[in-house]
Homo-oligomer: A and B are copies of this chain.
Amino acid sequence: MIYFKARNRNPVAMAATLALATAPLAVQAQQSTEERLSALEAKLAEIQPQATGEEGFSFNAYARSGLLLDDDLQSASGGPYLTPAGSVGGAVGRLGNEPDTYLEAILNYKQVAENGTKSHYRVMIADSTSSSNDWTSEDGALNVRQAYVEFSDLASFSGIFKDASIWAGKRFDRDNFDIHWLDSDFIFLAGLGAGIYDIAWSDNVKSSFSLYGRSFIEFAADTDFVPEGSYSTDNIILTANNYAGNFQWMISGMKARDNDQRVVEGVTEAAETGIHTMLAYHGGSFFGVSDGNYKVAVMHGQGLGAETKNIGSDGDLHEDAVSTRFGVYGTTYLSDNWRLAPAILAETSKDRYLAGDEYQWLTFNTRLAHEIAANFEMQYEVSWQTMDITTMGYNGREDVDGDYSKFTIAPTFKPQVGGFWNRPEIRVFASYSTWDDALDSYAVGDALGADSDFESGQWTFGTQMEIWF
Binding site for B on A (CB under 8 A): 2, 4, 6, 9, 11-12, 14-16, 18-23, 25-27, 29-30, 33-34, 36-37, 40-41, 43-44, 47-48, 50-53, 56-59, 61, 63, 65-67, 69, 72-75, 101, 103, 105, 107, 109, 111, 113-115, 117-119, 121, 123, 125-137, 139-149, 151, 154-157, 166-172, 190-194, 211-215, 217, 232-234, 236, 255, 257-258, 313, 373-376, 413-416, 424, 426-428, 463-465, 467, 469
B127 touches A136 (CB 8 A): no
A190 contacts which chain B residues (CB < 8 A)?
134
**CB within 8 Å for A140 and B151 given contacts A12-B9, A37-B36, A217-B131:** no
A75 contacts which chain B residues (CB < 8 A)?
213, 215, 232-234
A4 to B53, alpha carbons, bound, how many Å?
Answer: 56
A19 to B192, alpha carbons, bound, how many Å?
Answer: 73
A58 touches B57 (CB 8 A): yes
**CB within 8 Å for A156 and B58 given contacts A65-B192, A464-B168:** no
A463 contacts which chain B residues (CB < 8 A)?
168, 193-194, 211
Q: How far is the CB of A187 from chain B (nearest CB, A)?
A: 14
A59 to B319, alpha carbons, bound, how many Å?
Answer: 47
Inter-chain pairs besides A6-B12, A132-B170, A151-B424, 14 sampled, C-beta below 8 Å: A14-B15, A19-B21, A25-B30, A40-B40, A47-B48, A69-B234, A73-B255, A119-B415, A133-B217, A135-B143, A139-B215, A148-B465, A157-B375, A166-B426
7 pairs of residues in contact across A and B, judged by CB atoms under 8 Å? A11-B11, A37-B40, A65-B148, A65-B192, A111-B415, A134-B190, A151-B426
A22 touches B20 (CB 8 A): yes
A139 touches B107 (CB 8 A): no
B26 touches A37 (CB 8 A): no
Which one of B52, B142, B148, B232 contacts A144 once the chains associate, using CB atoms below 8 Å? B142
Q: How far is the CB of A29 from chain B (nearest CB, A)?
A: 4
A139 to B142, alpha carbons, bound, how many Å?
Answer: 11
A149 contacts which chain B residues (CB < 8 A)?
63, 424, 426, 465, 467
A51 touches B51 (CB 8 A): yes
A424 contacts which chain B residues (CB < 8 A)?
119, 121, 149, 151
Which one of B37, B115, B140, B234 contacts A73 once the chains associate, using CB atoms below 8 Å? B234
**CB within 8 Å for A22 and B23 given contacts A192-B65, A192-B132:** yes
A59 to B105, alpha carbons, bound, how many Å?
Answer: 13
A135 to B192, alpha carbons, bound, how many Å?
Answer: 11
A135 touches B129 (CB 8 A): no
A169 to B136, alpha carbons, bound, how many Å?
Answer: 15
Which of A14, A67, A214 has the most B CB atoms < 10 Å from its CB? A67
A313 contacts which chain B residues (CB < 8 A)?
133
A147 contacts which chain B residues (CB < 8 A)?
63, 65, 101, 103
A257 to B26, alpha carbons, bound, how many Å?
Answer: 79
B168 touches A65 (CB 8 A): yes
Which one of B33, B171, B172 contacts A33 once the chains associate, using CB atoms below 8 Å? B33
Q: How far is the CB of A432 from chain B (nearest CB, A)?
A: 20
A40 to B37, alpha carbons, bound, how many Å?
Answer: 9
A171 contacts which chain B residues (CB < 8 A)?
134
A125 contacts which chain B residues (CB < 8 A)?
105, 125, 142
* Nearest opposing residue in chain B for A31, CB measure: B29
B14 touches A74 (CB 8 A): no
B142 touches A415 (CB 8 A): no
A190 to B133, alpha carbons, bound, how many Å?
Answer: 7
A154 to B2, alpha carbons, bound, how many Å?
Answer: 52
Which one of B61, B67, B143, B166 contacts A121 once the chains associate, using CB atoms below 8 Å? B61
**CB within 8 Å for A48 and B43 given contacts A103-B123, A103-B147, A105-B107:** yes
A65 touches B9 (CB 8 A): no
A30 contacts which chain B residues (CB < 8 A)?
25-26, 29, 33
Q: How far is the CB of A469 from chain B (nearest CB, A)?
A: 6
A66 touches B375 (CB 8 A): no
B374 touches A413 (CB 8 A): no
